[in-house]
Structure formats: C-alpha cells, structure tokens
Amino acid sequence: MKPIISSFFALSLLSSLATSSLSAHAHQCHFPAIFNFGDSNSDTGGLSAAFGQAGPPHGASFFGLPAGRYCDGRLVIDFIAESLGLPYLSPFLDSVGSNFSHGANFATAGSPIRALNTTLRQSGFSPFSLDVQLVQFYNFHNRSQTVRSRGGIYTTMLPEADSFSQALYTFDIGQNDLTAGYFANKTVEQVGTEVPELISQFKKAVTNVYKQGGRYFWIHNTGPIGCLAYVIEWFPIKASDFDPHGCASPLNHLAQRFNHALKQAVIELRASLPKAAITYVDVYSVKYELFVHAQGHGFKRSLVSCCGHGGKYNYNRNIGCGKKVIVKGKEMYIGKPCDEPDKAVVWDGVHFTQAANKFIFDKIATRLSMACHRQ
C-alpha cells in the first residue's frame, strides 16, 4: 500500500502545484485596451453622437448628467473597464473630448448583428450593424497608427500598435436581431429560423478581428428578453405564455436558442483560431436570476420600469423615459424616474439600471482574470 499512497501523494502534489501555478499565472492577465462591439447594453455614447444625446434623466445616478448611456449610470462595460484599471471607453463616433489611447467603443444602441433594411426613424434600430462596426474598427486600426506617427498629442490620444494584439475584444450583440423579428410580426418559429445566419455572421466578425491581430475575446450571450417591458407590451401574449415570474416564456426560449447556437459557435471558433483565447459569458443566467429573485438581492422592482409612464410595467413606447410635455405653459416630465433607481432592475423598460449592471458584473468579474488564457 505504501507505494500507492506515495504515488497518490505525488500526484496530489503535482496537481496542487499545477493549480497554484495556473492560479498565479491567471493574475498576469493585463489588457492595455478594450475594443467593444455591441448594442445599447454596451453603448457609451455612439448613438447619441450620431443622432442626438440621450437626454436626462439618463446618467443621473452616477455621471450627474446624460453621458450617452441609456441608463441612470454605468453599464457592464464601464465596470469591466474600471476593474482593468482603464478609463471608460470613448465612442468611436464621438469626436468631442474622446481619448482612444486605451481602446474604443463601436457599439450603438439598437445595433443588430445583421443589417436591417430600415431606418432608425422607421424602426428604432441602428444602421450601425456589426458588419459596419467591423469596418469602423478596421479603419480605426489603420488610421490611428498613421496619425499617431505624427507624434505630439496624438501619441497620448491614440493606442500604441501593440495594444491591438494585447487588447480585450468584447462583444454584446444579438438582442435586437431577435426583437426586430417580433416587431415585424414574425412568429417565434420564424425568428428562430434566422438564428443560424445570425451566428454565421457573428463568427465571421470574430474571425475578421482575429485576422486584424485580436487574440482575446470576451463574448456575452443575450439576456432574457421576455422579461423586458418593451418586448412584453408589444404583443398580446396568452396568460399561459408567462412563466411564474411574469416573463414571456416564448421570447426567453428564443433567446436561449440563440445562446445555445452562440455557445457552439464559440467552441468552433476556439478550434479554428488557434491563438485566440475566447471567453463565453453567460449573462442570461445572471439577468434571469435577478428578475426571479430581485428582492433577495436587495431590489424592490423587477419587471416594472424605474423611468417611464403608465401601464402595468410603467412603460409606454410613445412616452419614453425623460419625455417632457407643456402643461399650462410649464414644461414638466411625464416619463419620470422612480425615487430609488438603485432598488430597480429595469431602468426604462428596455435597459438595466446601474445597480443591476453592477450586480451582473460582480457575478461575471472573476472570469476576467482568466480571459487571456485559452480554454
């Protein structure tokens, strides 16, 4: 028995040393920059720069004024930047006061993976689809180095050449492709048949960034859209379609179908991109947990919007958060924020509050220490 015990001890020691080594190595991850692609879940001002500022009370809980975010404060991408010791990402589309030395944000609210044959005014969806964001990144990559070579202030405002291969590339997109189908009166089944094409285009986007030198990818799946007022209110859904927590099950099942395909795509990308470290981040589960057990996590409002007007969910698509009217010659808000935004999960029927974003980040943050390692 003694040799067996000795062998077991040796194996245990080796396993312990390997684990310790891996743990120590994990803390060596360092990202000098972040390049983000996505929609309103990570838009730090792109749509505002292109089509007009998201007005008050957006930004009221942290920035003290509108800051380009459809939220009362910070987004998950802001907390990611903070945790990495980096400044908040400047939107690529914003030419005023932007500093791109630590990355750039190509996300805009309403962006889909696949370009939609419509305008922002017609549908509410952004023309800056993922393929357009990739073109912007390609141009930024090349032109930033040409301009930086001029020296002077440009060296402090634009990223170093090595930053592109060492940066973290974050993706949070896909939600608008699913909801756009509903808003076009398609059935769950019809929208579901479009998922393979969406995933194919997403894979091409990641591959193109890899060809540009990107090596570290952080990919969020899409959240439980069936728990968001703007989706629930849009269509008459049978009572039997709601789960015990008030979320529309068919819509959440569609999101899960997308996520299953996205996770499989990540596995395939890991195999086809040998030098890439790709982290698949399950934000769906974290967000759904927040809706289901909101009070247990210190929140008072889950499905009901903090900022809005009327209806079961304090949401009206015609009277958005911050909407003003003139009453007896006086300007007043009718899309007003709630008294305690930090106790609400949903900000405006579409987006999460800063408090909810912080909760989501806290649940996924530990994986950042491993994001520079292949899985």
pLDDT at residue 103, as a whole number: 98
Mean pLDDT of 257-269: 98
pLDDT at residue 14, as a whole number: 40
Mean pLDDT of 64-85: 97
Q: Which of 297, 339, 351, 369 is catalytic?
A: 351
Structure token pair of residue 171? 């993706």
Annotated active-site residue 40? The verdict is: yes
Q: Identify the three-state secondary structure at position 293.
A: coil
d(CA 341, CA 305): 9
Q: What is the largest CA-CA distance in the chain?
A: 93
Task: Look at residue 258 and tell me whether its pLDDT is greater than 50.
Answer: yes
Structure token pair of residue 73? 């404060």
pLDDT at residue 3, as a whole number: 41
CA distances from 90 to 49, 75, 104, 218 (A): 11, 13, 6, 18
Structure token pair of residue 100? 């791109």
Mean pLDDT of 56-66: 97
Q: What pTM was computed for the model?
A: 0.91
Q: Give residue 124's pLDDT band: very low, low, confident or very high (50, 70, 90).
A: confident
Q: Identify the three-state secondary structure at position 34.
A: strand
Q: At what angle do helices 249-272 and 195-211 cross, to 10 degrees?
A: 40
d(CA 5, CA 158): 59
Residue 224: is the preceding peptide bond cis (ω within 30°)? Answer: no
In contact, 93 and 46? CB cutoff 8 Å: yes
Annotated active-site residue 25? The verdict is: no
Of 23-27, 143-147, 319-323, 327-331, least confident by mean pLDDT is 23-27
Q: Which of 39, 40, 129, 302 is catalytic?
A: 40
Annotated active-site residue 351? The verdict is: yes
In contact, 147 and 164? CB cutoff 8 Å: no
Q: What is the DSSP letter of 89?
A: P
Q: Give residue 164's pLDDT band: very low, low, confident or very high (50, 70, 90).
A: very high
pLDDT at residue 329, as a whole number: 79
First to last CA, the chain: 37
| Segments making up each domain of the chain, as ranges | 30-299+354-370
Q: Which of 43, 72, 78, 348 is catalytic?
A: 348
Q: Give residue 144's pLDDT band: very low, low, confident or very high (50, 70, 90).
A: very high
pLDDT at residue 326, as a whole number: 79
Q: What is the DSSP letter of 106?
A: -
Q: Fold for domain 30-299+354-370?
A: Rossmann fold (3.40.50)
Task: Look at residue 10 and tell me whether its pLDDT is greater than 50.
Answer: no
pLDDT at residue 241, as a whole number: 92
pLDDT at residue 248, as a whole number: 94
- The model's pLDDT over 13-59, given as tens digits with 9 standing for 90+, comes to 344 444 443 444 445 789 999 999 999 999 999 999 999 999 999 99
